[in-house]
Structure 1
Amino acid sequence: MLDDTDRRILRQLQADPHASSAQIAERAGLAPATCWRRIEKLQEAGIIRGTRARIDWRALGYTVEVSLRVTLDKSVPRAFDEFAARARQIPEVLEIQTFLGQVDVRLGLIARDLAHYQQIYRERILHLPHVTDLDALMHIARIKYDESLPI
């Protein structure tokens, strides 16, 4: 699906997403027009889904990160859908993942401090539908976080 040229382009985009197509072309050893056409094809194929700003939420005063492992009442046919719809409405929930196994859902959320987390937990999380069990894991340190792919 991808050839070496596409991989070179993707490596350059991962290394510097703000680089112009001319800069990427130069670094990948391509003519600018060729590089731009390939980038467009990678976008059309859904391989490049866009670029975005990654905002450091800690710099904005959010100092607490929590993972909530949630088990849902599986006897309710729409439990997952209803839970996810309500969880999406909580601005501090940054991530919702579903799993197979004892834990059904993991919510990743942030808070300004422990008092703010307690408020979110009591006023929003505990009111989410179809929850049968809830386990909180407080993040201490992020050892590795890298969205770059080995291409």
Structure 2
Amino acid sequence: MLDDTDRRILRQYQAAPDLPAADLADRAGVTPTTLSRRLDRLRGAGILRGVRGVIHWPSLGYTVEVSLRIQLDKTQPRAFDEFIASAREVPEVLEIQTFLGSVDARVQLIARDMADYQRLYRERILTLPHIADIEALMHVARVKSAEALPL
């Protein structure tokens, strides 16, 4: 699996993925060649899955964030598949998660303002198939948001 060198590289890469390779290698305590070889191996193994841009949605006018907890009509055999396929088509949906338990799915979405959210909710969310119950949780503040692992 991962050795200490891999963990050091991943720790530094998580902290600053946009660093030039030479600087990243220096921080991880390896040569640039070793860094390149190890990153290629981690990518090939599916451990390192890419670098992504993180957009500050309010800067683009999206000021409302809502998390919807959804219960599906599980008497329908394809309820999950059909719900997920339809929810993926809504551009304002940022994330879809499924669960075992009383909540079947959580949908995170953004809207420009409350009027936009109301329109989106009525026209796009309530028309998604197989919804038995829905609860909206309005986002107030992001207290912690981290994807970095303690390596």
Question: With structure 2 as the length reference, what TM-score do the two structures score?
Answer: 0.98
Deviations 1:21-71 (A, max 9, x none): 211111111111111100100100111101111111111010001010111
- State the alpha-carbon separation in 1 of the partners of residues 121 and 95 from structure 2: 15
1:58 match: secondary structure: helix
Matches within 5 A, 1:1-12: 1-12=1-12
* Amino acid of the structure 1 residue aligned with 2:68: L
Residue 128 (structure 2) pairs with residue 145 (structure 1): no
Task: Supply the RMSD in Å over aligned alpha carbons.
Answer: 0.7
- State the alpha-carbon separation in 2 of the partners of residues 30 and 98 from structure 1: 40
2:57 match: secondary structure: coil
Q: Give 4+ residue runs of structure 1 displaced > 3 Å after superposition.
A: none
- State the alpha-carbon separation in 2 of the partners of residues 28 and 124 from structure 1: 47
* Amino acid of the structure 2 residue aligned with 1:128: L
Matches within 5 A, 1:2-151: 2-151=2-151
1:124 match: secondary structure: helix
Deviations 1:62-102 (A, max 9, x none): 00010101110101000000000000000000000001111
- State the alpha-carbon separation in 2 of the partners of residues 43 and 23 from structure 1: 19
* Amino acid of the structure 2 residue aligned with 1:29: G
2:60 match: secondary structure: coil
* Amino acid of the structure 2 residue aligned with 1:37: R
* Amino acid of the structure 2 residue aligned with 1:59: S
Question: With structure 1 as the length reference, what TM-score do the two structures score?
Answer: 0.98
- State the alpha-carbon separation in 2 of the partners of residues 34 and 99 from structure 1: 40
Could you list the runs of 5+ residues in structure 1 that have no partner in the other structure? none
* Amino acid of the structure 2 residue aligned with 1:150: P
- State the alpha-carbon separation in 2 of the partners of residues 64 and 35 from structure 1: 41
1:33 match: secondary structure: helix
* Amino acid of the structure 1 residue aligned with 2:102: Q
Using the aligned pairs only, state the percent identity. Answer: 65
- Number of corresponding residues: 151
- State the alpha-carbon separation in 1 of the partners of residues 70 and 30 from structure 2: 49
